[in-house]
Amino acid sequence: MQASIGIGILGCGVVGGGVAQRLLIGEPRVHGIAHTLHAIAVRSLTSVRADGIPRSLLIDSANALLADRRIDLIVETMGGTTLAAEFVERALERGAHVVTANKALIGSQGPRLHALAARRGVSLRYEAAVGGALPIVRTIDAALAGDPIASFVGVLNGTCNAILGAMEQGGSFDEALADAQRAGFAEAEPSEDIDGLDTAHKLAILVQRAFGAAAITPRLRYRGIRGIDGEALRRYSKRGYRMKLLAVARRDAEGIAAEVAPALVPRDHPLGALEGAQNGILIHARDAGELYLRGVGAGRTATSSAILGDIADVLRSIVARTQRNDLVDEFTPILDIRSIFPDTLAIWNDGFLTSPATQLDAAHSSSAR
Ligand code: HSE
């Protein structure tokens, strides 16, 4: 019988603590596979809030966790790209499997870390990094593994979607942001949400997975929703449009185009109907046609759900003693990623046609005449 598979967690914040609680009650239940949480590395033993987690599991040394040979699988929930990158790299280097929710890390260093994981014959999984509980990475990697993806468009930042929705109803930007912070959706540095960087990390990850291309966040053009005017949102709304922060990518004969930008979307479009912190993504694959995933894109339980799914997958692959080979581990270098949106506010129609939103006002005034 397979010995219990050892797990360690780096970080015990909102997400790390939630994952630890699940592991301690025996989840994920993967038939016949035992697992044991051996340690949780935290920055300070005195300041950590660890409801329901035995203090004996907490250690204040990531080095000790990385050196613990009982641990086969390391879950990284620290965030950031400096220490997290060093620890993930060392974990992979020493032959541990890694599950992470760290979009900044994978967005900016995914291709390099995948190459390392492939060399060491271990898994690197990050379903939680994009779209919270939405199984978008697995949909691309597994379900659509035999079907080339032509394009996708998504709303991938719950904080921005909630702010835009609240302002459309007459709320203020600052109040809506404060609500998102209280709900635990916003980043510790909320400018990453507001200015589009968070969405750009997620777009980079999806371009890596969907197109097998070595796209990293600094190569992408992105804009956010700072300075958006509530009056204008209400005017668009009266005409049947809602502003959404879109992450868009497509692959064609000319290469790859990808960008994050705010755009106007018809209210009855699947992305136009998203409320609050919901995320949604439409994928166009050659044979499957259009697929749509929608759900909770942020927060403790949604993120834990995705991490637990990845842990289950890794447990299965360890027991099967085969390296998962359904992931893209060799990325194609890319010379150029073209941008998509004009500099002015665009309208998102199905497909990739955009037209300046100023035409909306012109069209409305001529039809009103
Ligand atoms: N700040 C992110 C959001 C969290 O608002 O969507 C989930 O990645």
Q: Which of 100, 159, 303 most suits a substitution to test ligand 1, by most atoms within 8 Å of the C-beta?
A: 159
Q: Which atom of ligand 1 is nearest to the CA of 101?
A: 8
Query: Helix, strand, or coil here: 338?
Result: strand
* Per-residue model confidence (pLDDT) at position 87: 98
Q: Which atom of ligand 1 is nearest to the CA of 129?
A: 8
Query: Does 87 share its domain with 151?
Result: no
Work out the average pLDDT over 26-44.
92
Q: Examine the pLDDT at 320 and tell me if it is beyond 90.
A: no
Q: Examine the pLDDT at 327 and tell me if it is beyond 50.
A: no
Query: Does 252 share its domain with 286?
Result: yes
Q: Which of 198, 199, 300 most suits a substitution to test ligand 1, by most atoms within 8 Å of the C-beta?
A: 198
- Atom 7 of ligand 1, residue of closest alpha carbon: 298
Query: Helix, strand, or coil here: 107?
Result: helix
Q: Examine the pLDDT at 298 and tell me if it is beyond 80.
A: yes
Measured CA to CA, the distance from residue 133 to residue 214 in angstroms comes to 25
Q: Examine the pLDDT at 317 and tell me if it is beyond 50.
A: yes
Measured CA to CA, the distance from residue 193 to residue 185 in angstroms comes to 10
Q: How far is CA 131 from CA 4, 101, 126, 159, 356, in A?
A: 31, 10, 11, 12, 28
Condensed to tens digits (0 to 9), the pLDDT of residues 200-225 reads 999 999 999 999 999 999 999 999 99
* Per-residue model confidence (pLDDT) at position 46: 83
77 lines ligand 1 (CB under 6 A): no
Measured CA to CA, the distance from residue 7 to residue 75 in angstroms comes to 7
Query: Does 177 share its domain with 292?
Result: yes
Q: Which atom of ligand 1 is nearest to the CA of 192?
A: 1
- Burial of residue 325 (CB within 10 Å: 0-12, 13-18, 19+) is exposed
- pLDDT category of residue 355 using cuts at 50, 70 and 90: low
247 lines ligand 1 (CB under 6 A): no
* Per-residue model confidence (pLDDT) at position 245: 98
157 lines ligand 1 (CB under 6 A): yes
* Per-residue model confidence (pLDDT) at position 321: 65
Q: Examine the pLDDT at 267 and tell me if it is beyond 50.
A: yes
CATH number of the domain residue 174 falls in: 3.30.360.10
Contact 9/41 with Cβ under 8 angstroms? yes
How many whole angstroms from 84 Cα to the centroid of ligand 1?
Answer: 18
Determine how β-strand 278-285 pairs with β-strand 255-266: unpaired
Residues 6+ apart with CB under 8 A from 161: 155, 244, 245, 274, 275, 276, 277, 278, 279
- pLDDT category of residue 359 using cuts at 50, 70 and 90: low
How many whole angstroms from 247 Cα to the centroid of ligand 1?
Answer: 14
Q: Examine the pLDDT at 357 and tell me if it is beyond 70.
A: no
Query: Does 145 share its domain with 287?
Result: yes
Residues 6+ apart with CB under 8 A from 368: none
Work out the average pLDDT over 161-172.
96
The pTM of this model reads 0.90
Closest CA to 315 of 2, 5, 26, 21: 5
* Domain extent at residue 122: 3-135+299-327
Query: Does 236 share its domain with 281?
Result: yes
Residues 6+ apart with CB under 8 A from 119: none
Measured CA to CA, the distance from residue 132 to residue 207 in angstroms comes to 17
Contact 193/159 with Cβ under 8 angstroms? yes
* Per-residue model confidence (pLDDT) at position 325: 44
16 lines ligand 1 (CB under 6 A): no
Query: Does 161 share its domain with 70?
Result: no
- Atom 8 of ligand 1, residue of closest alpha carbon: 298
Amino acid, single-letter form, for residue 78: M
Query: Does 306 share its domain with 288?
Result: no
Q: Which of 187, 203, 217, 278 most suits a substitution to test ligand 1, by most atoms within 8 Å of the C-beta?
A: 187
Q: Which atom of ligand 1 is nearest to the CA of 159?
A: 5
Which residues in the chain belong to E strands, given as ranges?
5-10, 35-41, 58-59, 73-76, 97-100, 124-125, 149-155, 221-222, 241-252, 255-266, 278-285, 289-296, 337-338, 346-348, 354-356
Q: Examine the pLDDT at 244 and tell me if it is beyond 50.
A: yes
297 lines ligand 1 (CB under 6 A): yes
Query: Does 51 share its domain with 69?
Result: yes
Query: Does 128 share its domain with 156?
Result: no
Higher per-residue pLDDT: 355 or 194: 194
Query: Does 71 share its domain with 148?
Result: no
Active site residues: 202
Cβ neighbours, 10 Å, residue 49:
9
The total of structural domains in the chain comes to: 2
The mean predicted confidence, pLDDT, of the chain is: 91
CATH number of the domain residue 311 falls in: 3.40.50.720
